[in-house]
Amino acid sequence: MSATTTSAVLAALLDRLERSDARCGVIGLGYVGLPLGMALAHAGFRVLGFDVAHDVVVRLNAGESHIADVLSAELAQHIERGRFEATADAARLAECDTLSICVPTPLSKTRDPDVSYVVAAAEAVAAALRPGQLIILESTTYPGTTREVLLPKLEAGGLRAGQDFFLCFSPERVDPGNTHWTVHNTPKVIGGITAACARAGAGLYGRVMARVVTVSSTEAAELTKLLENTFRAVNIALVNEMAQVADRLAVDVFEVIDAAATKPFGFMRFDPGPGIGGHCIPLDPHYLAWKMRTLDYKTRLIDLAGEVNSEMPRYVVAKVQEALNAQRRAVNGSRILVLGVAYKRDVDDTRESPALDVMRLLEAKGADIAYHDPHVDEVHEAETVRRSVPLTAAELSRTDCVVIITDHTSVDYGLLAAFDGPVVDTRNALRGHGARTLVGLSGHARIAEGAADVVE
């Protein structure tokens, strides 16, 4: 195809995008894909959402959202206006002018990237590919995935990226539960296989997001996402280790962090906790570490951060053991109530949640485990189904120890003020609420209303 023809194909697509006349497809309607679909619809595009889960498609077409960040009322409004439709028919992808791939990218048991969902999506897109389409991979993955995995499959039919169709990578930056930074106002990074691809990608997302940041290649865009979350993982590992340092010095690590955070320059606050969860922070550094191993480079700092963070659930269990020992009780036979199983505050997402590890470890030591989470009614693990219990005085009367893993804002922490047993608070959630016996991640256990008596 000549440069003139290529320019005409790009110009036609950009014109349709500018007039919001394009049909936009979203592949994968989960935590990333559905909010993106709503943002595209809000910008005036007609959106076709594709998902392999038939029940998800049926619920969405009925106006019922399965994602907390997307209100059913918003979804129903876009459906009524003809701006959103869900389908499980991959052949319909040919109807779309743009296709954003938002499928899972988990790790295997050996911590290697599992790109099978990306491969399946690429094959579905390749089967429906036609000239003039824009394809954007949003799934977090290792640098090189767009060029090495998607590009060959999409070009196998004879069409060429940057000439006949356009291929980009744009890392998702969804922060579940964050009402301030949303899809609309979070800057959108995009890199293309060619400059024309990048222009096409920016032409789409420039109509949806407040700011688009174009980088020189798909690899630069892929590495951008990994740097963002590796930065967080490493700094969380630092404060998690600092919590253990402070514990040995009998110092409250949260007091130290509060004081350090008063410095107006050179310090960025991170808080310790029971471990890291969600799809991004526990996984993204491993994509980068795996890629570097293929290039004969060892990511020493990343690997060490992963070790520190992954050991935090065991550290929390040790704190529970110490707290119960001080009451002359063993973990074996004790009833332990875990507050919060979501991976972070005020969301219903339990992916990679450290609470699940803490519960498994305590059960392995013979504890009787219950949990309360206002956002998560059930947790399914293998053949086991756990159900949330109400947080009541009656429930606490049957409990020997409470462990706060997720500091949801709707939890009535005041109930714990009268609780007779120890409370292991991994999130500093009880500041200002009190507890008779409070055990933090570091420092002295405290009796009554904050007196510094040590529980030995």
The vertex-275 CA angle with 273 and 279, nearest 5°, equals 125
Supply the DSSP string of 225-247, one letter for each residue: HHHHHHHHHHHHHHHHHHHHHHH
- C-alpha distances (whole Å) from 170 to each of 19, 182, 213, 450 are 22, 16, 10, 48
How far is Cα 61 from Cα 49, in angstroms, rounded to an integer?
10
Cβ-count burial 309-341 (b if 16+ within 10 Å, e if not)? beebbebbbebbbebbeeeebebeebebbbbbb
CB 354 within 8 A of CB 275: yes
Tokens 């094959």 found at: 123
User: What positions carry a catalytic annotation?
Assistant: 280
378's tokens: 């059930």
417's tokens: 């003020």
How far is C-alpha 39 from the geometric centre of its chain's CA atoms?
19
Instruction: List beta partners, residue 135.
Output: 99, 167
The vertex-355 CA angle with 350 and 359, nearest 5°, equals 125
Which H or E run includes 291? Answer: helix 284-294
How far is Cα 133 from Cα 217, in angstroms, rounded to an integer?
19
237's tokens: 């590992």
